[in-house]
Structure 1
Amino acid sequence: MSDFTNVGKRIRTVRESRKISVADLAERAGLHPDLVAALEQNQLPPSLAPLIKIARVLGVRLGTFLDDVDSLGPVITRADAQVPAVRFAGRTGAVSSDLDFYSLAHNKAGRHMEPFIIDIHGSSSEDVHTSSHEGEEFIYVLTGAVEVFYGKETYVLHEGDSIYLDSIVEHHVHSTAGEARILAVVYTPY
């Protein structure tokens, strides 16, 4: 199980290579500079939406922050493979992680889609802040049940249910009770 410490280091490395200050990055991404600094310093587990916004501003794909090696051919992830997890916060500014993201294409070069298995740990609708980013998402519930806030609507999905949504609309996904596991495919244009 991996933590989120490499994510902050990778953000900082790319930002510095582009000669962009934390303040400039934050302004261009529409984020608070303290949030960007906290992510870079690994003080907070990252949330997906801010990472997508940061990647967009820096001109890199989301996977740049999540993995090390790129393969030009197909990437196969076997059922019994030990895929490292990246821990994310399901709530903006959370001090602990409630989502474990397992990338199913962590070595694929130049990808526009990010397929993940995501374990959701006992999150709830309390203190949830919706977020938005460019792109689209497809979510399929493998186990448990999740609640999806999407715009002004709320959808409850159970095992076998799915939702395809435009990520530009404010949204949030969390479990309804206890643990849940989902397959999510996030498309982000760059």
Structure 2
Amino acid sequence: MKIGEKIKRLRVKNSLTQEELADRCELTKGFISQVERDLTSPSIATLVDILEGLGTNLKDFFNETVNEKIVFTKDDAFEMENDELKYTLKWIIPNAQKNIMEPILVELEADGRTKEDSPHEGEEFGYVISGSINLHIGNDQYKVKKGESFYYKANSNHYISNAGKTKAAVIWISTPPSF
């Protein structure tokens, strides 16, 4: 991290001149200039004074925020196939298990089904992109066709199956992540 560059960005963001910042911190304009150009390093105490003059503190100043990825491509996806049960899971958002919700793409071949999930805290949502599926929740079964969606609390055993003759695809979102 280039401390000087970051101090300058904060100063400009706060619409302060070097002289105004220097006055707030009881420093010289020349010293602020040298710090901003990384020609000198302030002591911790002086850095605290500068940051206070900029309306921030050490913790927030050094807390680097990482730009989170927003758009994901098919190359980002992780895929797992289950030939026995005839389904494919695609984690379309990498590392989503660390998030509040976990979206996946489920593709079911004809007569395919997912593994049965045990009851857990949270909720499940799905949208059928193609084909049709049967949603099994406890002893109940629901037919969900292309363009339809489902939503339920995951407090019973649950899974989906494809009783059709063509492949079915479902966007499935679980919260908290469980896949």
* TM bucket, shorter chain: 0.5 to 0.7
Alignment of 1:37-56 (within 5 A): none
Q: Which runs of 4+ in 1 moved over 3 A?
A: 128-131
Closer/same/farther in 2, CA of residues 119 and 185 from structure 1, 3 Å limit: same
Give 1:119's aligned amino acid. Answer: E
Contact 1:145 1:177 in 2 (8 A): yes
Q: Name the SS for the 1:133 alignment partner.
A: coil
**Structure 2 residue corresponding to 1:121, chosen from 64, 88, 109:** 109
Rounded to whole Å, the distance in 1 between the matches of 2:87 and 2:97 is 24
Deviation at 1:103, TM superposition (A): 1.1
Name 2:99's counterpart in structure 1.
111
Deviation at 1:182, TM superposition (A): 0.4
Gaps of 5+ in 2: 1-65
**Structure 2 residue corresponding to 1:174, chosen from 150, 154, 161:** 161
Name 2:131's counterpart in structure 1.
144
CA RMSD of aligned residues (A): 2.9
Closer/same/farther in 2, CA of residues 109 and 176 from structure 1, 3 Å limit: closer
Contact 1:75 1:105 in 2 (8 A): no
Deviation at 1:108, TM superposition (A): 4.8
Rounded to whole Å, the distance in 1 between the matches of 2:168 and 2:141 is 17
Rounded to whole Å, the distance in 1 between the matches of 2:139 and 2:151 is 16
Rounded to whole Å, the distance in 2 between the matches of 1:140 and 1:133 is 20
TM-score scaled by structure 2? 0.52
* Greater Cα radius of gyration, structure 1 or 2: 2
Give 1:110's aligned amino acid. Answer: K
Rounded to whole Å, the distance in 2 between the matches of 1:72 and 1:168 is 36
Name 1:187's counterpart in structure 2.
175
TM-score scaled by structure 1? 0.49
Gaps of 5+ in 1: 1-70, 90-95
Rounded to whole Å, the distance in 1 between the matches of 2:172 and 2:134 is 14
Deviation at 1:189, TM superposition (A): 6.7
